[in-house]
Amino acid sequence: MRRSTRLLAFAVPAVLVTVPVALAGADSTAGGRAVEAPRAAVAAIEPPPEPSRPPAALIVRVRPGATVALRTRPHGPVALRAGDTTEFGSPQRLGVVRRRGPWLGVSTPSLLNGTLGWVHRESAAVAIERTRWSIRVDISERSVVLRKGGRAVRRLRVAVGRPGSPTPTGRFAVTDKLSGGSYSPYYGCCILALSATQPHTPPGWAGGNRMAIHGTSDPSSIGSAASAGCLRAADSDLQLLMKQVPVGTPVAIRR
């Protein structure tokens, strides 16, 4: 995803500072007193303030042995209960994609894409963590951008969902970091499982409906619309993501 760089015009206040100036040909004294030349006004430029850093993303970690109620809305009925591990056995960390006061809306594969579960941040069942890492996916450009604190760190070329099984869009989160070899050579070295699900699996598909960013056994497919919805990247790029990105990192996918 290419973004144009714009220069911001800052209003710079001018501060007047008086500086003594020696007059050519004038006596330095008059009647025993020092004679001071008129002072010239000089504008001192103040540097613009540094831009503020974007806030860190929040992650809800379910404490070991606990179960947390995820509600349909703040103060609403319970939609489901999440345990302390995911279906793949990872510690349960839920990425926060929306906030309403002390209530945190989290993305989970147990709910439909775009449907959030709400948890109170003061719940005894959870601990709040933070990250400045984020991932942005642009399907039309077939790119994944790894960002830290709002700054692009790495741009990855990826394969996206093919016609009939397009990559879902929305705001999601990383749920698990898995070894691709533990599942199939098809997944390359590594798998970043996402909270998104695929509502349009190909006919006869038996691989489940979970979305992920993963490696591939067919590097020639990278940059094309060739997958069942997942995002395929080179193993070298996946290894970087596995190293840098914590579980719970927010993932925004757009057309």
| 148 and 65 in a common domain | no
Residue 51 resides in a domain: no
| 140 and 123 in a common domain | no
CATH of the domain at 240: 2.40.440.10
| 146 and 237 in a common domain | yes
| 243 and 144 in a common domain | yes
Confidence of residue 212 (pLDDT cuts 50, 70, 90): very high
pLDDT of residue 9: 30
Tens digit of pLDDT for each residue in 97-137?
A: 999 999 999 999 999 999 999 999 999 999 999 999 999 99
* DSSP assignments along 56-107, one per residue: PEEEEEEPTT--EEEESSTT--EEEEE-SB-TTS-B-EEEEEEEETTEEEE-
| 140 and 124 in a common domain | no
Residue 52 resides in a domain: no
pLDDT of residue 2: 37
CATH of the domain at 106: 2.30.30.40
Task: List the domain range (segments joined by +) for residue 25.
Answer: 16-45
- Decide: 232 and 215 in contact? Cβ < 8 Å: yes
Confidence of residue 49 (pLDDT cuts 50, 70, 90): low
User: What's the CA dihedral at 145, 148, 150, 151 to 10 degrees?
Assistant: -70
Q: How many CB atoms lie within 10 A of CB 182?
A: 9
Nearest to 107 by CA among 127, 122, 125, 86: 86
- Measured CA to CA, the distance from residue 200 to residue 207 in angstroms comes to 12
Which among 83, 99, 131 is the end of a domain? Answer: 131
Phi and psi at 55, nearest 5°, equal -65, 150
Tens digit of pLDDT for each residue in 165-175?
A: 999 999 999 99
| 61 and 22 in a common domain | no
- Measured CA to CA, the distance from residue 212 to residue 187 in angstroms comes to 10
| 194 and 173 in a common domain | yes
pLDDT of residue 45: 63
| 151 and 90 in a common domain | no
Both tokens of residue 9?
A: 């015009």
Residue 7 resides in a domain: no
